A and B are shown apart, each in its own frame.
Chain A
Amino acid sequence: MHDGGDRARFDTAAKPNWCLGCGNFGILSGLRKALLKLELEPHQVVMATGIGCSSKIPHWINVYGLHGLHGRPLPVAMGLKLANHNMVVIAEGGDGDGYSEGLNHFIQAARRNVDLTYIVHNNGVFALTTGQTSSTGRPGFVSSSTPHGSVEPPFRPAALAIVGGANFVARGFSGDIEHLAELIAAAIKHPGFALVDVLQVCVSFNPQRGYKWYQQRVYKLEDEHHDPTDRDRALALALDDDEQRLATGIFYRGTRPPYERSLPQLEQAPLVDHDIDNIDVSVLMEELI
């Protein structure tokens, strides 16, 4: 563990190339604060991200990172965790990445419950491709793909995660960095798949929903004494369509053990520390005789 002295240890020399005022800055700050709060060292953390503005995040935080393919951070993260379960593994991407292209991986990761934290920058719009409506975009949203206004209802990712079997489902807001850092830290500490869906401001392609719009509507579940072990209530909250009151905080927290705990082959040491010289396969060949 770190002595807590070097508060800049997760900073990088390179600076993000996001738009001025982008919600991604708040999420990056929240992530850094969470890692500091947990007293982690850079080499103990690895990130797998997809493609999009948000998925570039590993370049601007000092941890191991694989900035991979659109929609695919979760399979990569799963492989990483099973290869070396001593690592803190964080998957991250946008709503287009995770809730459109990679939706199957998302629900399956919730079901399988490998211990990883999945942070989604959810702004309802494809930003890096210059503004098309995403699957969490709101009805009526006018964008380059929906010039007459979107007619599709949005996904409810927190509800999908709960129904999929996730045992840690939270929602944060990119404009409340302290709260977001707490949620991310709790997600990392949770053993098993943990979703942190983040309401993210996109100043360029969804400016109608700026900081002020969200600040007037978000509230904290803990302030209303929500019991996160109550799954039915959590699901009802996650399905709530009232856009005038947006819940943030931990919706649901369960106790299902993570996938990797069912594997005796990981008990002694992480796979990556196994010795592979001189493996004997003669017994297997004998069995074929």
Chain B
Amino acid sequence: MKRDELSLIIGGHAGQGVQTVARAFARTCARAGFGVFLNQEYPSNIKGEHNYFDVMVAEGSVGAHTRQADALLALDAKTVNLHVDRIAPGGALIFDREGAEVSPVDRGLKISEIQRDDITVLDVPFSQFAQDVGGSARMTNAVGIGSLHGLLGFDFDLLADLLRQSLSKLSDQIVQQNLDGAKRAYDLTRDNYWEKLGLVLDRPQARRRMLISGNDAVALGALKAGVKFYSSYPMSPSSGVLSLMSQRARDYDLVALLTEDEISAAGAAVGASFGGVRAMTGTSGGGFCLMSEFLGLAGMVEVPLVVLEGQRPGPATGLPTRTEQGDLKFVLSAHQGDCPRIVVAPGDPPEAFELTFEAFNLADRYQTPVIVLTDKHLAESFWTYEPFQTESLTIDRGQRLGEKELGTIKDYKRFRLTESGVSPRTRPGIPGGVFKATGNEHNEYGLLSEDARSRAAQTDKRLRKTAALDVSQTGARLHGDPGAPVTLVGWGSTKRAILEAMAVLKETRKINCNFLQVIYAEPFPTSRVSEVIRDAGRTLLVENNATGQMGDLIRQKTGLAITDRILKCDGRQFYRDELAEMIAERL
């Protein structure tokens, strides 16, 4: 029987090239026209520790992984022990029983007895095949992925292309050995198990689709917005954006700068923005701690600043390579005094692209910091999407004055008190516009002033700006049937897991839910969220953190408390089947 979707796990230890083949496999499936989702689980370690990758492959679209998998490709012994329970009845385990590799950090580890008579165990001698073709243990990943391709009945040519591409830095001889080893494994599983097991997908929809991560989408959005300056200090999960910006700096004529620390990264971006270009900095929660003084400065001197905050579990170093929605309250309140800001939380790559692009327009229009809040799950997972539409995106740099406009103004006041709170700005280098900006309280000219009335007026002016931003339509989105008896409430990267859990609940249990996704955390879509929650039957909060930070924010803004909370704080994203069960249990 053909299926419309398969769930696969590929695991091994760091240094085995598991990530390389998992990503390449995902890309191959995407190119073949399948919908793909890739979740990456890896430790903060370079060699030896366990890592694994969930790959969902579907005839149509797929965006969340399942706890139950159809096949597990185990490239080392530990992977078998850790994940064999996740194989669905009727699924397959592919591993090398005799020659299974053991990570140096797990010396002496044995494969536990496999007590599953409801799965097919495929013993594929990866290391023997590698030796047979004159290769080494390093080729296990290629041989292993060969067996997976055979099991799924994919064309070997697809795999051959993939291997040639991902091994392009190696010698022809080594590439050939990899191909030969992969072919042996491919033939074994294809000839013996493909049709028998029936892990066969329906024909894909065969549209041209990107395989794109949240980090890719953020970088694309920033480049499209004309970012000219990206300063950062490496920190998972945002380092990928620094890499992308650095790689593209010469093609897109921007400066990508790795600074000495996050303070400097934020400071340089503030300087570049004050200098007149679109500037951005990126970090995770730990780096954001250091950036917070510049966030306050940008708010005080009314400089546009876009900040990417890719969350990971905290406090302190926490789980550096895992995921959590734990910094919402932090980014909303990291500053002294009352400081204007905008906080947006994309839920998937298209939203990450659009909201990052929009963040630059908002920063310019309101002359204030805008935080794009992602997390590891969004930043480093991959999904398939058709190329984004960009025709409707237009650059809005807000109210700016050039030499000509300044010439018509007798007494230029950079921080003039206006009704909207936004004062037209100019930039260094423009004749006739010389002004001061200061992190101290100041008057309309930007000169130091401790005058009580001026202080109150300038504070009101700064806060007035974003209060005028109307997010009643864009700030929250209700997915699904508006009349559904159950409303799930969430934000950020849980979006796809929630949407797919809803589909599972509808199909398997006839439970009809809708999903209120909060997109703007500041300013907050208070009226929209209140209205949806008031009209809802049963309301369930779903968050990837320990305390329900969005739930608290909703209560703070609307006065409405969501008491039913499904929370997960183990550093991992919800599996969609797990989430569906958690929801069903509450109803």
Contacts and interface: CB of A to CB of B under 8 A. Distances in A.
B431 A41 contact: yes
A46 B275 contact: yes
A279 B272 contact: no
B210 interface: yes
Interface stretch (B218-226, B547-555, B557-565): B218-226
A271 B437 contact: no
A274 B447 contact: no
B255 interface: yes
B301 interface: yes
27 contacts: A43-B429, A43-B430, A59-B447, A65-B435, A66-B436, A68-B297, A68-B438, A69-B297, A72-B264, A75-B265, A76-B267, A79-B273, A79-B275, A80-B275, A82-B229, A83-B275, A84-B429, A104-B264, A265-B254, A272-B277, A276-B278, A279-B224, A279-B226, A282-B387, A285-B388, A286-B387, A289-B211
B231 interface: yes
Contacts of A62: 434
Given A76-B271, A265-B254, A44 B429 contact: yes
A226 to B, nearest CB: 31
A188 interface: no
Interface in B205-235: 208-212, 216, 220, 223-226, 228-229, 231
A249 B216 CA distance: 51
| Most B Cβ at <10 Å: residue of A56, A59, A79, A266 | A79
A145 B162 CA distance: 66
A276 B438 contact: no
B104 interface: no
Interface of A: 14, 41-44, 46, 48, 51, 56, 58-59, 62-69, 72, 74-84, 86-87, 104-105, 108, 263-266, 268, 271-272, 274, 276-277, 279, 281-282, 284-286, 288-289
Contacts of A76: 267-268, 270-271, 274
Interface residues of B, number: 68
Most buried by B among A69, A105, A263, A277: A69
Contacts of B226: 274, 276-277, 279
A36 B225 CA distance: 39
B382 to A, nearest CB: 9
B252 A272 contact: no
B255 A86 contact: no
B97 interface: no
Interface in B386-444: 387-388, 390, 395, 427-440
A80 B436 CA distance: 14
A281 B273 CA distance: 22
Contacts of B294: 69, 72
Q: Which of A51, A62, A72, A78 has the most CB of B within 10 A?
A: A72
B316 to A, nearest CB: 21
B252 A279 contact: yes
Contacts of A288: 210-212, 216
Interface in B122-181: none
A-B interface, 3 closest residue pairs, ranked by CB to CB distance from nearest: A276-B226, A79-B271, A75-B267
